[in-house]
Amino acid sequence: MLGIELCRRFYAEIVEPVMDTLSPVSYSATLIGPGSEVLGFDTEMSRDHDWGPRVYLFLHERDLALRETIRALLDQRVPPSFYGFPIDIKMTVITTVPNFIRGHLATDITRSLELVDWLTFPSQNLLEITRGEVFRDDDGQLSALRHTFAFYPRDIWLYLMASGWQRIGQEEHLMHRSGFVGDELGSAVIGSRVVRDIMNLCFLMEGQYAPYPKWFGTAFRRLKCSDQLLPCLLTAQTTADWRERELALNEAYSCLSQMHNGLGISENIPADASMFYDRPFKVMNGERVAGLIAGQIADSELQQLAQARLIGGIDQITDNTDFRKLGSWPDGDLARNALKTLFKPLRK
């Protein structure tokens, strides 16, 4: 049994009857947040920690005083196990939607988001809000939340894609240059970075949040473009010969260009890679593509940012796991606001 099905039954058979014993209370019940089961990627190995019957209960602020009563009732009524799995009632979280978002994204959901706020949210965190399953939503608060975070606003989407192409443009020729002087290891490392940037672009082009590294490749295989791209990306990733890597990446670039042109967000880009100046290798000229996309950004402040520094969002500027989790830091709001200053270079 997958974890999401186990939690669905746990809510229906254990939690909901307990909630029905209270005086009428509007609440939402769901499985969202961290956990492989939220994404539907859990396996038997996932069960060794932080896995089991659980649910998030979201109350309104006015009813939060019932939290201890609800927990006491659950303590009294839950059996030792559920469908053969032990129950740890502490895994069931009782909170409010604003408190959850404050601890997850270090932002106040009761206030309007700025565009640059989106650049501080890791895509994994956004995925954890929008995936999983809602079991009950009396007042529609979860539906509203998931609608808000369904996907990036258009200008942020354009900025992130432009930044992705910029990253490719800055490194695509370095992979060839390293291989040309006999540094196959260095070429392979750069090639791997380019492969990851291509995969991230694919998520963006298909309107999907990319998960964190453990499920990055698994989720990529579910994208529409994966059947066409997987063979060439695997070759680029595994070959020990830089010329084979070049051919494989050029094939991937051709697929990317078709996807980009299909979006209709800028003038069409060439379908094939071209020579890098007078050197004996081909590139896609990613920085030119980045400029074309950035030119379509409508928001004046974000357009200025794109012109000043096309660095992307938090996932594109850092690979540090702890830093990406700044939303859960005790001073996460301060850290996130400090990060926002990077995206406001022209503000006085």
Q: What is the pLDDT of residues 266-318, one digit of tens each?
A: 999 999 999 999 999 999 999 999 999 999 999 999 999 999 889 999 999 99
Among 238-247, 251-260, 312-321, the range scoring the smallest mean pLDDT is 312-321
Assess whether pLDDT exceeds 90 at residue 321.
no
CA–CA distance, 52 with 10 (Å, rounded to integer): 10
| Nearest alpha-carbon partner for 158 in 112, 201, 209, 219 | 201
Full-model pTM: 0.94
How does the average pLDDT of the chain come out, rounded? Answer: 95
Assess whether pLDDT exceeds 80 at residue 262.
yes
Amino acid at 204: L
Confidence of residue 183 (pLDDT cuts 50, 70, 90): very high
Assess whether pLDDT exceeds 90 at residue 182.
yes
Which two structure tokens, joined as six digits, stand for 123? 């895509």
Percent of the chain whose pLDDT exceeds 70: 99
312: left (phi over 0), alpha (psi -120 to 50) or beta: left
CA–CA distance, 245 with 334 (Å, rounded to integer): 43
Query: pLDDT value at position 201?
Result: 98
